[in-house]
């Protein structure tokens, strides 16, 4: 294997390239990125960068010298437009082709949009800088979507003196992910700061005046941010023969086809730890999965290892630090095992079936979650671990 193409030049793509070199691969690595910037970190876009606490140069994942040391065939500012597995080539938007013996797909996701013109999204450096220029005291901002991204942006805008309206189609923000009671706690944090949070509303379109709801009401705004989820960037793979189903479908080794692997937000892989297929849009997963996929790409078939992580994510909202381990979606029960929900200092543990599937903490140091991460990693039984073990807190259903 003398030519490896890595398509996607964000955190996952960079981690893959670095891992290949660290594992001793000395062939050609072509790193393709749609954006013109060298690889940069995305989580600060909705936090430090949007708040003008950081400037863009602080987001760079590696300096010029570190990138040069990787000896990459770096193709930035050009998107991949097609894949020919038979010929083992990737077609690029500039008309060129990249040949490969091994391919790692890390093309990430793009924001979902709403009908109408003029709304902001928050995915790229340019997105964040453009929105930042429009946020100043007295401005009216409508944020559509009260998930983690929308909530973080709303919190930053509030700190900047912006008047924020937060629109959410669900009855309780993030209830599908963190549970109803934790979702209500997050909703109260918005309300206490004067955020106009409206749940159970659907936005039909963006207009010149703001947004129009499904019932016809117009919510006025100077600026609109749409944060209603994302779509995996797989269009360029259509017709390639790869299985595409809300991402690039992979096995437990992150392999999508022979010598073709995927990692990061675009990859839907079978996680044997939880016994299910999942696609994770978290920064830590992007790097970890890219490292695992790169090692498996180089390894002999019998030496490959399944990628079976305990997913981790965090979010900063107002004065709250939210951290979580595991796969919380689709849980059956939540129990507070430490602290107090009302004081916003607690650990909540999640049950799926008969096992501990996740844990979330607010207002506590990382060590508060260590034992619960281990419980998730070992597939600990719920009754033994929570009901008769480490915690006796209230159940929240």
Q: What is the DSSP string of 152-178?
A: HHHHHHHHTT-EEEEEESSSSTTHHHH
Q: What is the pLDDT of residue 392?
A: 43
Residue 223 has pLDDT above 80, yes or no: yes
Position 311 in a domain: no
Position 249 in a domain: yes
The 10s digit of each residue's pLDDT in 148-160 is 999 999 999 999 9
180 plus 92 within the same structural domain: no
Position 83 in a domain: yes
Cβ-contact 250, 232 below 8 angstroms = no
121 plus 220 within the same structural domain: yes
105 plus 245 within the same structural domain: yes
Residue 391 has pLDDT above 60, yes or no: no
Q: What is the average per-residue pLDDT within 283-308?
A: 97
Position 397 in a domain: no
Position 270 in a domain: yes
244 plus 103 within the same structural domain: yes
Domain boundary among 226, 252, 284: 226
Residue 205 has pLDDT above 50, yes or no: yes
Domain boundary among 303, 335, 363: 303
Cβ-contact 366, 348 below 8 angstroms = no
Domain boundary among 226, 247, 268: 226
Position 314 in a domain: no
Cβ-contact 44, 59 below 8 angstroms = yes
278 plus 183 within the same structural domain: no
360 plus 333 within the same structural domain: yes
> Structure pTM?
0.94
270 plus 253 within the same structural domain: yes
Q: How far apart are CA 144 and CA 199, in angstroms?
A: 10
What's the structural domain count of the chain? 3
Structure letter (DSSP) for residue 264: G
CATH number of the domain that 163 lies in? 3.50.50.60
| CA 232 to centroid of chain Cα atoms | 11
89 plus 187 within the same structural domain: no
13 plus 44 within the same structural domain: yes
Residue span of the structural domain in which 89 resides: 3-110+230-303
Token pair in block for residue 266: 């675009």
3 state SS of 313: strand
Please provide the distance, in angstroms rounded to a whole number, between the alpha carbons at the two ends of the chain.
52
b/e 162-196 (16+ beta carbons within 10 angstroms → b):
bbbbbbbbeebbbbebbbebbbbbbbebbeeeebe
The 10s digit of each residue's pLDDT in 317-353 is 998 999 999 999 889 999 999 999 989 999 999 999 9
The 10s digit of each residue's pLDDT in 225-262 is 999 999 999 999 999 999 999 999 999 999 999 999 99
CATH number of the domain that 337 lies in? 3.30.390.30
């Amino acid at each position: 294997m003398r030519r490896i193409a890595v398509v996607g030049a964000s955190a996952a793509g960079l981690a893959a390239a670095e891992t290949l070199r660290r594992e001793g691969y000395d062939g050609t690595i072509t790193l393709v990125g749609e954006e013109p910037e060298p690889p940069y970190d995305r989580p600060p876009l909705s936090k430090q960068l949007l708040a003008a606490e950081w400037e863009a140069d602080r987001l760079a994942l590696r300096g010029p010298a570190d990138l040069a040391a990787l000896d990459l065939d770096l193709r930035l500012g050009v998107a991949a437009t097609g894949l020919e597995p038979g010929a083992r080539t990737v077609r690029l938007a500039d008309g060129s082709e990249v040949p490969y013996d091994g391919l790692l797909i890390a093309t990430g996701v793009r924001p979902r949009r709403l009908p109408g013109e003029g709304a902001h999204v928050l995915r790229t450096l340019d997105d964040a800088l453009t929105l930042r220029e429009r946020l100043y005291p007295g401005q009216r901002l409508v944020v559509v979507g009260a998930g983690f991204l929308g909530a973080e942006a709303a919190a930053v805008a509030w700190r900047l003196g912006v008047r924020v309206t937060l629109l959410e189609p669900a009855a309780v923000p993030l209830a599908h992910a963190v549970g109803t009671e934790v979702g209500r706690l997050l909703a109260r944090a918005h309300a206490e700061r004067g955020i106009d949070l409206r749940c159970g509303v659907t936005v039909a379109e963006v207009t010149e005046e703001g947004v129009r709801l499904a019932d016809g009401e117009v919510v006025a705004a100077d600026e609109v941010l749409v944060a209603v989820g994302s779509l995996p960037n797989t269009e360029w793979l259509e017709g390639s023969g790869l299985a595409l189903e809300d991402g690039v479908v992979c096995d437990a080794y992150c392999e999508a086809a022979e010598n073709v692997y995927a990692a990061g937000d675009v990859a839907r892989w079978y996680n044997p730890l939880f016994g299910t297929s999942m696609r994770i849009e978290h920064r830590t997963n992007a790097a970890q999965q890219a490292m695992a996929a790169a090692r498996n790409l180089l390894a002999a078939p019998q030496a490959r290892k399944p990628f079976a992580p305990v997913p981790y994510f965090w979010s900063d909202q107002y004065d709250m630090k939210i951290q979580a381990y595991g796969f919380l979606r689709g849980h059956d029960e939540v129990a507070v095992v430490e602290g107090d929900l009302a004081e916003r200092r607690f650990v909540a543990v999640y049950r799926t079936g008969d096992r501990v599937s996740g844990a979330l903490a607010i207002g506590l140091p990382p060590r508060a979650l260590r034992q619960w991460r281990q419980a998730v990693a070992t597939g600990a039984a719920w009754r033994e671990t929570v009901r008769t073990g480490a915690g006796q807190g209230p159940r929240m259903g």
